[in-house]
Chain A
Amino acid sequence: MSREVTVAKREPVVRMAKRDTISRGKAWGIRLIAVLLSLVTAAVVIVAITKQNPVEVYLGIVDGAVGTNRRAWVTIRETVVLLCIAIGLTPAFKMKFWNIGAEGQILMGGAATAALMIYAGDALPNWLLLIVIFIASAAAGMVWGLIPAIFKAKYNTNETLFTLMLNYVAMQVVTFCIVFWENPAGSNTVGIIGAAGQKGWFPPVLGITYGLNVILVAVLTVGIYIYMKYSKHGYEISVVGESQNTARYAGINVKRVIIRTMMLSGAICGFAGCLIVSGASHTISTSTAGGRGFTAIIVAWMSKFNPFAMILVSAFLVFMQQGSIQIASQFGLNENASDIITGILLFFLIGCEFFINYRLEFRKNRNA
């Protein structure tokens, strides 16, 4: 038909159409291509900055992430933390509750953990202390998740900004605490808590330092998977997330579901705070969450809320982050290089979803 068009008007060359379905293999193929492209782009950026051989740079990344036993375990430890946060966010996001307050929930959980380590470290046997810490950190995160949920349920207050602001309130709570906990005095930091007796620290399991971290998060992951997929609560969460009107029609108490789900979400994020403070850093500062509350949102979103896909995505991101920290020090860059690398990876991974949901149709020349 284009042959008859004599005027300057052209037809669009590329058109897009929504795909009805896409095979799982194809979808993952597209994601894989995106990962490869992102690695290439990241390499170009790194090379531009460091003027080094890209192969060497990537070897540096691999070396940084898993080069030594200790590095590999740090990578696993950090993966597990990111995974735990993403798992915590899953119920909330499935409900379309934009909980971007994981940072704050982590900090509150971390603060509760640190407080117990400092004040109850000598009073309780370590196993009991740890159990108390688990409960307290989850409870602290739960409260931080509960507050915006109540207002969302009652007045439909925008939860995105509410939870965001609570992050900064939590940060101030932590700085407030640091005033009392600082060690040594005048340093404005807390230092390693309980370095002498390792009170409130996660004990090694089967001789592995971070064994407990892995086990706990694995249990959580499987638990949330079952909860979301097979339980009545999980069903209610999906219905509320898709349409509150339908939920009311189905006789679901929407307010109760919102509040209950955010309590769960906050509690798991709070527990992640304990995972960081008790299970890894043994200290607390305003950067304890370190932006992972935001990164985890993207992890959960890109995994389509499938807990097992989250393992892959968080492992990949942490691998690259740990690797970039290594090359940063190797080539004399600062540690923020890893944020840039992460950003690039995320842009590609987010962008590739388009090619999974849409199909491009190129207009053929019909000169027949």
Chain B
Amino acid sequence: MNLLLTFIQKAIGQGVAILFGATGEIVTEKSGNLNLGIPGIMYMGGIAGLMGAFFYENGTENPNGFVGFLIAIVCTLAASALGGLLYSFLTITLRANQNVVGLALTTFGVGFGNFFGGSISKLAGGVGQISVKTTAEAFRAQIPVLSEIPVVGDLLFSYGFLTYLSVVIALGMTYFLKRTRKGLNLRAIGEDPATADAAGINVSRYKYVATVTGAAIAGIGGLYFVMEYLGGTWSNNGFGDRGWLAIALVILALWNPANAIWGSFVFGGLYILYIYLPGLTRATQELCKMLPYVVTIVVLVITSKRNKQENQPPASLGEAYFREDR
């Protein structure tokens, strides 16, 4: 029972970063942009938040957790939004191939994260030596009282602020896409930008806003990983492939952020299953770590076989739009 509880807690802990990434990518893809740069953007968001907090804590006598928290969030949003803006400029304004730009952005973003991560590690005195304790504690702060209820408290109320934020954003985005006028307009752009344009919607502006917002949301996923999961430090390539899993989750979630919530927790569980399965050797553990990818592939194959119109990717996904194309 206890083990199961820990497993669920840890699975959710693993899933949150993926959920931020997937929600961000869904919003982006709904505008017709397939942003393969999300993994890089999540690195950028993570390191920017960490750097903000690091320089704040090192520059202040008595750092305040809440201030550090705010600084980290603002830095993360700024850096990841900038990443999204760069992607948007190249794909929307300059109409470059989305996949190519996305891959380049991921190369850049991962390098950006590791470079600055490595650099401030050196400043801090060595690998794993960065510590933004005060800020990280603010991120890890649990809900008082409620988290002390046995079992339920552990299961539902033992997480930091960002975990709840990830769920709230996912639900909020679902509402936005399904129930609001702007959401409807955004969906229309992803389906057929020429039609949306003819209906008087500013296609480029929506694409920019959706892509930049999506990038910012995904960036928080990187911050979550650095602050809450790692507890305020950096390890090179530590974030690993979670960004790519986030993109894969979009398909599993059928482009609905609400579905991504449980999907991300399942992914999180698969990610750490090897620790909890008894009787694994070192070698078989490695094989067990394949699970999230293999499951993604299986899901991919299954979804490609069903053909309900509403469950398909946005019809114009991956294509640049030029009004005067003939």
Name A residues whose Cβ lies closer than 8 Å to a Cβ of B.
16-18, 98, 100, 151, 155-158, 160-162, 164-166, 168-169, 172-173, 175-176, 179-180, 291, 294-295, 297-298, 301-302, 333-334, 336-340, 342-344, 346-347, 350-351, 353-354, 357-358
Contact = CB atoms under 8 A, between A and B. Distances in A.
Interface string B157-193: 0000000000000000000000000000000000000
B251 interface: yes
Contacts of B7: none
A160 B287 contact: no
A16 B204 CA distance: 14
B263 to A, nearest CB: 14
Nearest to B109: A343
B297 interface: yes
A156 B300 CA distance: 10
A342 B110 CA distance: 12
Interface string B102-114: 0111111111101
Given A161-B296, A353-B94, 20 more contacts: A155-B301, A157-B304, A160-B99, A162-B300, A179-B282, A291-B107, A294-B106, A294-B107, A302-B100, A336-B236, A337-B115, A338-B111, A343-B105, A346-B104, A350-B101, A351-B89, A351-B94, A354-B93, A354-B94, A358-B95
Interface in B268-300: 282-283, 286-287, 289-290, 293-294, 296-297, 300
B244 interface: yes
Interface of B: 36, 86, 89-90, 93-97, 99-101, 103-112, 114-115, 118-119, 122, 236, 241, 244, 247-248, 251, 282-283, 286-287, 289-290, 293-294, 296-297, 300-301, 304-305, 322, 324-325
6 contacts: A166-B297, A175-B289, A291-B107, A301-B97, A334-B118, A339-B108
Contacts of A175: 286, 289
Main secondary structure of the interface of A (DSSP, over half): helix
Contacts of A339: 107-108, 110-112, 114-115
B282 to A, nearest CB: 5
Contacts of B108: 339-340, 342-344, 346-347
B316 to A, nearest CB: 16
Contact of B96 (A17, A151, A343, A354): A354
The 8 closest A-B pairs by CB, nearest first: A339-B111, A343-B108, A334-B118, A354-B94, A336-B115, A346-B104, A336-B114, A157-B304
Interface centre among A166, A295, A337, A340 (most CB of B within 10 A): A340
Contacts of B109: 343
Contacts of A179: 282-283, 286
A350 B301 contact: no
Contacts of B89: 351
Nearest to A346: B104
A18 B96 contact: no
Contacts of A17: 324
A334 B90 contact: no
Contacts of A347: 86, 90, 101, 104, 108
Nearest to A286: B237
B251 A350 contact: no
A33 to B, nearest CB: 14
Given A160-B99, A346-B107, A18 B322 contact: yes
A179 B286 CA distance: 9
B261 to A, nearest CB: 20
B111 A18 contact: no
Nearest to B305: A155
Nearest to B96: A350
A168 B287 contact: no
A165 B293 contact: yes
Given A162-B300, A294-B103, A340 B111 contact: yes
A100 to B, nearest CB: 7
Contacts of A343: 104-105, 107-109, 111-112
B247 to A, nearest CB: 7
B158 to A, nearest CB: 30
A292 to B, nearest CB: 10
B287 A172 contact: yes
Contact of B296 (A156, A165, A294, A353): A165
A298 B244 CA distance: 18
A156 B312 CA distance: 13
Contact of B111 (A100, A151, A161, A336): A336
A180 B322 CA distance: 55
Given A157-B304, A301-B97, A351-B94, A169 B290 contact: yes
Contacts of B115: 333-334, 336-337, 339-340
Given A158-B300, A298-B100, A334-B114, A180 B283 contact: yes
A302 B248 CA distance: 26
A337 B43 CA distance: 15
Contacts of A162: 297, 300
A168 B293 contact: yes
Residue in B89, B99, B109, B297 with the greatest tally of chain A CB atoms within 10 Å: B297
A297 B300 contact: no
B40 to A, nearest CB: 8
A165 B248 CA distance: 9
A337 B114 CA distance: 9
B282 A353 contact: no
Contacts of B97: 301, 350
A18 B324 contact: yes
